A and B are shown apart, each in its own frame.
Chain A
């Protein structure tokens, strides 16, 4: 909702408030789901939904940092895979291992993000290729580490973040830990992007790197930081997804494209310079809501895929069209 707080020139012809269409889409989808299935309006209904979407939403907000800086990060899905497989390998059913495994995984994420950033900034490898290479490498590492089949479970202390619900909460009944994580990390990422100098430099570097450099923005360092943020959120998303679903060999695969899609539905501009964290999170909600709604409609799976694809293209086309009309 940050767009609304900005004052706009009064000369605009259209009088409708300029709301990012992604919010309209999310509200419409959710209303449709509630009409189809009133149980969704109950706290257990929507809390379960938010719990399900938490991993993707956090990931999208992190991926947005790289998108705004003018790049792509295709390695995030494989970071999630590595996080889950690696944690299960290291945990060896010891509940106390969680306390060192999570910091270790964040450390690994930090290193991966740094490598991505350095390769893109200093070796001048296009980010699409650099992170694609990283994705293939990490998938290979996860496969080698596990030998093709996971060799351990995730202890309940690790799965706490993705699976546990606080029950008997006044008003809402249940409150999943994953939803708390979503709010905390979402707010942090929003603050970093929209309320700090770093966020402004990120936008500047993505919009026009040349101009930003001349204006004194350390473009390369800003870009490297964006990759680090993205990799760290991927680790967090991996922890939440692994907690929710448990170990499997291909967990997290495909999330890189979903995260980019969510950010773009939220109005982020591929190639940089523009994007909003709350809108990217709303984009993730929209993606998941489409899935849920089509499921509720009971359409056959092939039809569902077609409709899902058309809604995605339509949403992005509409956002672009509106932006053009508004001259932004």
Chain B
């Protein structure tokens, strides 16, 4: 038995050592910056959130000015989850609004760094692209590929996940992962008594935009004196999520469930519902199924968002660049609103699919809602 314990301890140390070498996902300066941006005023038209930006630093793009029709190339990390499906629909619909775009070339890396690096090489070798949009699969691996594209003289627009080079024209993204974690954590802290028990559910470790959500929230819970019951990885699997919550419920009460992404939030809610318990604070994201469950059961929910309208903004940034118009740079930081109880009803649309992300900024497009799988 002692031997077993010893083995476990050694294993624990090994995993501890492994995580010590991981990149820094707990950066107090970035945390503070994003916390401020959540409440900051953004420039740009008030009714077109996808055009708004923080700060006033702009890039001069006169050198890229070109007559249409253009070929816009897009190297996509993947269309492998519902968030990316909604985002990609936003993007293709936005392309249709710009007659100057002659050809829109989309290459899907299917979630593989290697494929995406090869994809970018192929696009560069083809020589047809007037602008390259990149949604990187991972930060470190794609940085050299993006640098290569810049070196070839192409204007490059990066969005969603970043790269560690400032050669692109701009990097389009919403406030960020810390911001997401902060919004959910603030809601929990406000609605749970001191010493309350919080279960943190996460999809998987090691992804920067998810790690920062967790570290942001974890810091705030510790600071507020809440008791973190555990951090569990669900793999984005509903059945597993439900089992994990049920197991924690058997061990004792839960005052709040914090989620790093909303895909399995409904399963977590159902775990309480099916036991005949009152649903405590369960955070989610802006998917329709969660918003509707929240309204129907009337628990204390909140939906921080990682808005899919950034996919529209990426096209707009590309178009502005080729027109030679100024573009917010080096980063185009978009607002990242959270859906709260007060505004819940205006985001619910039962005619949309369950995993449609409500904060899509797409309602003003002519093909809405059919192109997103909804009906009028």
Is there contact, CB below 8 Å, between A291 and B243? yes
Closest A residue to B9 using CB positions: A303
Query: Is A71 at the interface (CB under 8 A from chain B)?
Result: no
Choose the segment among B233-241, B309-317, B336-344, B360-368 that binds chain A (4+ C-beta atoms closer than 8 Å).
Answer: B233-241
Q: CB-defined interface of B233-271 with A at 8 Å, one 1/0 digit per residue?
A: 100111101111011001100000000000110110010
Chain B residue at minimum C-beta to C-beta distance from A55: B239
Set of chain B residues within 8 Å of A247, measured between Cβ atoms: 238, 354-355
In the bound complex, what is the Cα–Cα distance between A301 and B231 (angstroms)? 9
Q: Are A241 and B250 in contact (CB under 8 A)?
A: no
In the complex, how many residues of chain B place their beta carbon closer than 8 angstroms to a beta carbon of chain A? Answer: 39
Instruction: Check A246 against B86 for contact (C-beta < 8 Å).
Output: no
Indicate if B69 sits at the interface (CB-CB under 8 A): no
B8 within 8 Å of A by Cβ?
yes
User: Is B274 positioned at the interface, with any CB of A under 8 Å from its CB?
Assistant: yes
Interface residues of B in 189-248 (CB under 8 A from A): 230, 232-233, 236-239, 241-244, 246-247
- A37, A52, A149, A300: the one within 8 Å of B82 (CB): A149
Pairwise interchain contact A39-B12, C-beta atoms closer than 8 A: no
| B264 touching A163, Cβ below 8 Å | no
Q: Say which residue of A52, A298, A306 sits within 8 Å of B243 (CB atoms).
A: A52
Question: Are the CB atoms of B15 and A303 closer together than 8 Å?
Answer: yes
Chain B nearest CB, measured from A208 CB (Å): 39
In the assembled complex, the Cα of A45 lies from the Cα of B232 at a distance in Å of 21
Contact at A150–B236, with CB atoms within 8 Å? no
Query: How many inter-chain residue pairs (CB < 8 Å) link A and B?
Result: 93
From 144 to 175 in chain A, residues with beta carbon under 8 angstroms from any chain B beta carbon are: 147-153, 163, 165
* Nearest-Cβ distance from residue A178 to partner chain B, whole angstroms: 11
Q: Write the nearest CB–CB distance from B338 to chain A, whole angstroms.
A: 22
Q: Is the CB of B81 within 8 A of A246?
A: no
Which residues of the other chain, A, contact B274 by a CB distance below 8 angstroms?
163, 165
Do B353 and A150 touch across chains, with their CB atoms under 8 A apart? yes
Which of B15, B85, B243 sits near A300, CB closer than 8 Å? Answer: B15
In the assembled complex, how far is the CB of residue A248 from the closest CB belonging to chain B, in whole angstroms?
5
| B residues less than 8 Å from A163 (CB atoms) | 270, 274
Return the CB mask of A236-277 against B: 1 if under 8 Å, else 0: 000001001111111100000000000000000000000000
- Cα(A40)–Cα(B246), bound, Å: 11
Taking the complex as formed, is A302 at the interface, i.e. its CB lies under 8 A from any CB of chain B? Answer: yes
- Chain A proximity of B363: nearest CB distance (Å): 18
CA distance in complex: A291, B244 (Å) = 10
* Inter-subunit contact A245/B267 (CB<8 Å): yes
Residues in B neighbouring A44, C-beta threshold 8 A = 275
> Are B238 and A37 interface neighbours, CB within 8 A?
no
Interface centre among A52, A148, A249, A307 (most CB of B within 10 A): A148
B238 near A246 with CB under 8 A, answer yes
Contact of A244 among B239, B251, B263 (CB under 8 A): B239
Closest to B352 in A: A151
Q: Which residues of B contact A150 (CB under 8 A)?
A: 82, 353-355
Known A-B contacts A40-B250, A248-B264, A302-B15; A149 and B233 likewise in contact (beta carbons under 8 Å)? no
Beyond A165-B274, A245-B237, list 9 extra A-B contacts (CB 8 Å): A52-B243, A149-B82, A151-B353, A152-B353, A245-B238, A246-B289, A248-B263, A251-B238, A295-B244
* Chain A residues within 8 Å of B, Cβ to Cβ: 37, 39-40, 44-45, 48, 52, 55, 147-153, 163, 165, 241, 244-251, 291-292, 295-296, 298-303, 306-307
Please, could you name 21 A-B residue pairs with CB atoms under 8 Å apart, sorted by A? A39-B250, A40-B250, A44-B275, A147-B85, A147-B373, A148-B82, A148-B84, A148-B85, A149-B86, A150-B82, A241-B239, A245-B241, A245-B242, A247-B238, A247-B354, A250-B236, A251-B237, A295-B244, A300-B12, A303-B11, A303-B15
